[in-house]
A and B are shown apart, each in its own frame.
Chain A
């Protein structure tokens, strides 16, 4: 069974802090990954795609380490609005299925 593992948290960080989440995956053949953000009782929304070595978008940086089979998400200068659950997703290899981790909860504190 292909799995994605995440630290559930919660991560409680002050505004302006830098926070990093890691996610491990078991399918060594997987080629691409995603980070989704999910607010309480809302739908997941795509935050970033991670296809090769990494991706950066403003305050957010995602890295992929194929040798160790993990993906990381770094958030710099945290905002109150970053408070959410962050879902790590494996898009699989030869599959149409997205495999989600259980999510990591982030709370940014004033």
Chain B
């Protein structure tokens, strides 16, 4: 059973460019959240997707956008990259099916390390 998979694992972009990161959730999971983790910091919540809709967003600018597909996989897009966007981007999947719980156990992918130069 594959866990959460993210691609690419590493990426180098130039300031001002755009980037797309991809995530496939753990089998059986329907909810995908994205987090940004800067060096020496804890992960910061970007947004969460459920039923192909963004249902909660953290304190990130509109340059950060996303999408969820019918197969529950997700993309994170960042436009007009800044040096400060350099970080580890983590995707987490979870499932509410049959539980109604808001925050059941979240499983993280290995992350995409983005460097903006």
| Chain A residues within CB distance 8 Å of chain B | 4, 32, 34, 41-46, 49, 87, 91-92, 94-103
Q: Are B102 and A91 in contact (CB under 8 A)?
A: yes
Which residues of B in the span 43-99 have a Cβ within 8 Å of any Cβ on A?
43-45, 48, 50, 55-56, 58, 88, 90, 92
By DSSP majority rule, is chain A's interface helix, strand, loop, or mixed? Answer: loop
| Chain B residues within CB distance 8 Å of chain A | 31, 33, 35, 40-45, 48, 50, 55-56, 58, 88, 90, 92, 102-103, 105-111, 113
Using Cβ atoms and an 8 Å threshold, which residues of chain A touch B58?
A: 97
Q: Are A43 and B110 in contact (CB under 8 A)?
A: yes
The 9 closest A-B pairs by CB, nearest first: A100-B42, A91-B103, A43-B108, A97-B45, A96-B56, A102-B42, A96-B48, A100-B43, A43-B110
Q: Are B111 and A96 in contact (CB under 8 A)?
A: no
Q: Are B42 and A103 in contact (CB under 8 A)?
A: yes
User: What residue in chain A is nearest B46 (Cβ atoms)?
Assistant: A97
User: What residue in chain B is nearest A94 (Cβ atoms)?
Assistant: B102
Q: Are B105 and A44 in contact (CB under 8 A)?
A: no
Using Cβ atoms and an 8 Å threshold, which residues of chain B touch A98?
A: 33, 35, 43, 45, 92, 103, 106
- Starting from the known contacts A43-B111, A44-B43, 19 additional A-B residue pairs (CB-CB under 8 Å) come to A32-B103, A42-B110, A43-B110, A44-B90, A46-B106, A49-B105, A87-B42, A87-B43, A91-B103, A95-B56, A95-B103, A96-B48, A97-B48, A98-B103, A99-B45, A100-B35, A100-B44, A102-B40, A103-B42
Using Cβ atoms and an 8 Å threshold, which residues of chain B touch A99?
A: 45
* Minimal beta-carbon separation of A85 from chain B (angstroms): 9
Most chain B CB within a 10 A radius of its CB, from A4, A43, A46, A95: A43
* Minimal beta-carbon separation of A104 from chain B (angstroms): 10
Using Cβ atoms and an 8 Å threshold, which residues of chain A touch B50?
A: 96
6 contacts between A and B (CB under 8 A): A91-B102, A91-B103, A97-B33, A98-B35, A98-B43, A100-B42
Q: Are A43 and B109 in contact (CB under 8 A)?
A: yes
Using Cβ atoms and an 8 Å threshold, which residues of chain A touch B31?
A: 96
Q: Are B105 and A92 in contact (CB under 8 A)?
A: no
User: What residue in chain A is nearest B3 (Cβ atoms)?
Assistant: A43
